[in-house]
Structure 1
């Protein structure tokens, strides 16, 4: 615990995809004796390694990692489950004398832990969900997303049209409660049960997009097509939440003969750029973020020092556990 505070400490590193969170997180975890909790909604799935850019097995041996490879791709994973699991992990990590360290880019998941978000207040309407599913089957994902944009443009901006499950949930919340999801979010308690130190990474947008394209090229060279092919061969349906993730739905379209490989890669790069933009939009709505610009990629040590100074200043000089 920190001086003058009874709240447990929680370190968080956020940033858009491909900005360089993994390398920084490993250095920081070693320095501050952390255990890393993945804050990524896709890294929970087994067998989905290349497309989700998981830390390698060698990297995971350096620092304990949690919430990676805990679900089969066919199984859904929700923000409520993430919140529950992380809230169980944090005291366990403290009991081991380590600092819990969430690293990732799924804004809603991370924010749900950092603040006292409640997900059980708005009920469900299964018939409404079924109707929206049928509408999307008939008219397409973008038409469903347009329905959300008409009633809740802020939530539509944050959710991709391919994320059918969350789009339908946002529509359902407005339908059941009469209040848009964005308003529910705005009214959530913003007090944290933790002593937070949130580091946010940013960089020049053109450079970020270049890094995204380079990462996708590297994924292709590492066998992304083979990874997706093996998931399909193992019986994972293409309409599961996991297989609609970036890198998977585009490659499935290639493997099913709907797109050329060149077109699939082009779409993957475009969709990932759009995703990074939505991540940054989400993070801008969060509070208490200490932003660090990492545009200068030749100056890693300076970025690391700046982040270390922020952590040290927040957590009072050094990490101490009784």
Structure 2
């Protein structure tokens, strides 16, 4: 008699998302300890070694309390892409789940996290080095905003998602259109939003004014901790200012200060403004994702209340003890 085998259970996957400075790190550490989880960083900048302050990386003491993955895996001159994040994360999730632990993605890079949650299929569109070089010359001669304007004209949705200073990704979006005649936003829109996981996504949000105040306080603390010195050290070690890593928030602004193009006060104010805009774009991205259970932490009296609310969501979605 033929007996059909039961299909293997889908791996569990816990995800915590939200804008910068909303409080993901503290909450994730408590959750990971409670559920015996291993954290996979869903931040496109924390992969870089020696870039700690500007990326708000967890401290060495915090990292020691819970197993973390995809932190400090690249030198700053090396690129990191959504495809690599996906390639590394998928087997990690299977491995962690297979060892009886809970895979737990934490971060704010929306496309990276969404690509894993819903198994995006990225087509091989190839590359056009001559076109890339031409676009880079435009950025160098006319400024990043001129290049971003080109993207706004052909793909306004991608232009809204990408910051003008993210020259590498802006060029890639233009290159996709050049090679295929199709917008990057159209490629993303075709992705099927089905998940191979038993998925629980928790999103943290808070009152906008409170979030912006936290962002400004965080940047002031970064400067006290030595952000300028961190960026100066990277330049002294030969990290190219055109590297993807150096386009990150905190790095490009401090490079402008160190090169004498801005005063420290101007660079700091620009960083605060850019970070506020970044947080707004993060929230916009996540609000278009499905399956997110939102928790407004500014409406809760204290951290223990936040923790209790999130555990309640996890208990319901993943059938785990509160």
Q: Same fold by TM-score, threshold 0.5 exceeded? A: yes
Q: Name the residue aligned to 2:232.
A: 229
Q: Name the residue aligned to 2:223.
A: 220
5 Å-filtered alignment, 1:1-322, equals: 6-296=9-299, 298-318=301-321
CA deviation after TM superposition for structure 1 residue 297, in Å:
6.2
Q: Distance in 2 between matches of 1:174 and 1:224?
A: 37
Name structure 1 gaps, 5 residues minimum: none
Q: Distance in 2 between matches of 1:132 and 1:85?
A: 30
3-state SS of 1:237 partner: coil
Q: Distance in 2 between matches of 1:72 and 1:24?
A: 28
CA deviation after TM superposition for structure 1 residue 318, in Å:
3.8
CA deviation after TM superposition for structure 1 residue 262, in Å:
0.6
Q: Name the residue aligned to 2:3.
A: none
Q: Distance in 2 between matches of 1:33 and 1:240?
A: 36
Q: Distance in 2 between matches of 1:204 and 1:300?
A: 16
State the TM-score, normalized to the length of structure 1: 0.95
Q: Number of paired residues?
A: 317
Q: Deviations over 1:83-110 (max 9, x none)?
A: 1000121111112211000000000111
Q: Deviations over 1:228-262 (max 9, x none)?
A: 11111111111111111100111111111111111
Q: Residues 121, 189 of structure 1: CA spacing in aligned structure 2 closer, same or farther, 3 A cutoff?
A: farther
Q: Deviations over 1:97-132 (max 9, x none)?
A: 110000000001111111121223433222222221
Q: Distance in 1 between matches of 2:156 and 2:285?
A: 13
Q: Distance in 1 between matches of 2:106 and 2:139?
A: 33
Q: Distance in 2 between matches of 1:286 and 1:306?
A: 21
State the TM-score, normalized to the length of structure 2: 0.95
**Greater shift after overlay, 261-270 or 118-127?**
118-127
3-state SS of 1:292 partner: strand
3-state SS of 1:314 partner: helix
